[in-house]
Amino acid sequence: MTPPDGERPTGPDAAGQPAVEQSPENLPAPPGQVSSRGVRTGMFGAKGTGDTSGYGGLVAPVVFPPPTGRPFGGWFDEVADALLEHLAGLGGGHEHALGAVVVDRGEITFHVRREDLLEVARALRDDPRLRFELCSSVSGVHYPDDTGRELHAVHHLLSMTYNRRIRLEVGVPDSDPRLPSVVAVYPTADWHEREAFDMFGLVFEGHPALTRILMPDDWPGHPQRKDYPLGGIPVEYKGGTVPPPDQRRSYT
């Protein structure tokens, strides 16, 4: 008997059949099953300044797992079917809201058009077959080489009814980093969206008070973007300063 993908025989079991060992979910995808989005240099991928992290010589590709075909496996198909059926019932083009669906390392991510994000979020919260009642986090990500989708917002949703977790991911261009706020659907997203705005420059339209939450209101730039300098920025607190990286102690 040929074991399913991701499993390999390890020896006969008590019934004389080959035993099967599950591959760890955190193993990287095999070559050819990922798409490249540039190269990260150093620990943080920042450009234009020195890197004193001790990883200045690190060069690693930035790769995305590919879209996953049906069947997704387990309850993933139940969620996808219920969501697609709900959106199709809304009409108005919402049936095309979903882009790629990615299953990687035992987790599922739905890529969503930004103009449909609110309807998808409402469907996931309200449909009795889905019941994703909690948005536990909104994360920002910056991929400078993902042309036209340089900034990503990732919404982590939890169904307490069914004990399931999924992600919604929206990609927007650096030149137009706007997407709808989901605070009206998930009030817990309030401060998370403010942090993603503060750190990455994502603009959540409809947020009740989209202001910085960590940095001063007049701070220039967004510190977790890959094009943000690693150091050499004057610090205004108590007269302290941070020297540029090439003037600090080197760890390489």
Q: How confident is the model at residue 58 (pLDDT cuts 50, 70, 90)?
A: confident
Per DSSP, the residues of 56-101 read TT-EEEEEEPPPPPSP--TTHHHHHHHHHHHHHHH-TTGGG-EEEE
- Would you say residue 93 has pLDDT above 80? yes
Whether the CB-CB separation of 153 and 139 falls below 8 Å is answered with yes
pLDDT score, position 250: 56
User: Looking at per-residue confidence, does 65 or 102 come out higher?
Assistant: 102
Residue 11 CB neighbour total at 10 angstroms? 8
Domains in the chain, ordered, with CATH? 68-221 (3.30.460.80)
Cβ proximity of 151 and 141 under 8 Å = yes
**Cα atoms in the 13 Å half-sphere on the side-chain side of 13:** 8
Q: What is the pLDDT of residues 99-137, one digit of tens each?
A: 999 999 899 999 999 999 999 999 999 999 999 999 999
Provide the 3-class DSSP secondary structure of residue 154.
strand
Q: Would you place residue 28 in the very low, low, confident or very high pLDDT band (cuts 50, 70, 90)? A: low
Whether the model clears a pTM of 0.85, i.e. scores above it, the answer is no
98 contacts 112 by C-beta, under 8 angstroms: yes
CA distance 181 to 174: 17
Q: Is the pLDDT of residue 15 over 50?
A: no
Lowest mean pLDDT among 22-31, 93-102, 154-163: 22-31
- Name the nearest CA neighbour of 53 among 247, 249, 240: 249
Q: Which structure tokens are listed for 156?
A: 């982590």
Spatial separation of the C-alpha atoms in residues 112 and 71, rounded to whole Å = 19
